[in-house]
């Protein structure tokens, strides 16, 4: 996720050796550690740290690189309206809203996306361009691809799935509208799909949970608990499915982060989380994010977490 609203000039790929501080923890062990660390966590306390390597870094998103170039396995599908699965399954009767972060055309609409909107705890840009890999694969392309894969998996489980957008509009939607779409759908769960734009060496994924915000149009008190449960489920299943470790720079190794500055969470009246699937500016993470087979694993991990949360 990036909060830069203007695209920078395209960046050339860098050829350099990167020393990875720690290897991936074996999938099953990592998943077990996540559940052990997060089970029974009190919502009023910060999540406990996992015994995984971590670094004390501050996330600093870089300016995105606009490039129309995609990567392997991108097969967009049209339509963002709710589509009942038409079949039974463990998620039959459940509604899930998928919120693909950013929009591929935001780069072309700086005035519109820079417009300030009320997020309860303050005011913020309508939307941002998002980040990208150093080779130009944009976050907006990534989030749409994972979202399409996620929708297919959830519909196979019987869920009714709605998108906040499917690159079918010139920009946005604004963050407050994204929240309203989930609220109007009376979603049983909403997941906003993102990727981070931090520094080289900052590795791993994390799930962002809503903080307690009661200000203006925002009142997250009814959703803080359910959203944390949804987030914990996704963290455990994402580790198991992808082998990606929890972030070593956000969340102290738990894979969880609590924030009050995101309008999409503040204005939600239904359980909602964001997932930063990896760091697009780290060479190891970006290689995974650009892989179609890994994106399928990412979608599977998110889907399994949603299914577990909804009792499927």
List the catalytic residues: 276
Contact 193, 137 (CB under 8 A): no
What is the spatial distance between Cα 94 and Cα 189, in angstroms, rounded to a whole number? 9
What is the spatial distance between Cα 150 and Cα 304, in angstroms, rounded to a whole number? 10
What is the spatial distance between Cα 264 and Cα 182, in angstroms, rounded to a whole number? 9
Which is it for strands 206-210 and 256-259: parallel, antiparallel or unpaired? parallel
Query: Which candidate, 190, 194, 184, places its Cα nearest to that of 159?
Result: 190
Contact 213, 260 (CB under 8 A): yes
Q: Which residues pair with 208 in a beta bridge?
A: 257, 274
Cα dihedral across residues 220, 224, 227, 228: positive or negative: positive
């Amino acid at each position: 996720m990036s909060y830069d609203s203007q695209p920078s000039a395209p960046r050339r790929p860098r050829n350099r050796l990167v020393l990875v501080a720690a290897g991936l923890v074996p999938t099953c062990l990592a998943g077990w550690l996540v559940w052990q660390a997060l089970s029974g966590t009190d919502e009023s306390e910060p999540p406990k740290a996992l015994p995984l390597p971590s670094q004390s870094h501050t996330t600093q998103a870089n300016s995105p690189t606009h490039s129309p170039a995609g990567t392997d396995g991108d097969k967009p599908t049209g339509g963002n309206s709710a589509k009942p699965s038409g079949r039974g399954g463990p998620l039959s009767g459940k509604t899930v809203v998928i919120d693909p972060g950013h929009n591929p055309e935001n780069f072309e609409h700086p005035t519109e996306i820079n417009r300030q909107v009320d997020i309860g705890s303050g005011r913020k840009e309508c939307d941002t361009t998002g980040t990208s890999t150093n080779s130009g694969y944009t976050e907006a392309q990534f989030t749409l691809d994972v979202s399409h894969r996620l929708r297919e998996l959830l519909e196979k489980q019987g869920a009714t799935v709605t998108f906040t957008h499917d690159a079918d509009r010139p920009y946005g939607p604004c963050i407050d509208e994204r929240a309203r779409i989930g609220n109007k759908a009376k979603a049983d769960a909403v997941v906003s799909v993102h990727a981070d734009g931090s520094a080289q060496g900052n590795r791993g994924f994390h799930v962002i949970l809503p903080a307690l915000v009661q200000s203006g149009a925002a009142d997250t008190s009814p959703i803080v608990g359910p959203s944390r449960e949804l987030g914990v489920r996704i963290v455990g299943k994402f580790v198991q499915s992808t082998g990606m470790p929890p972030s070593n720079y956000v969340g102290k190794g738990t894979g969880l982060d609590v924030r009050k500055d995101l309008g999409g969470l503040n204005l939600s009246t239904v359980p909602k989380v964001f997932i930063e699937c990896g760091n697009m500016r780290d060479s190891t993470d970006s290689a995974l994010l650009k892989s179609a087979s890994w994106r399928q694993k990412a979608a599977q991990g998110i889907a399994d977490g949603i299914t577990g949360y909804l009792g499927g």
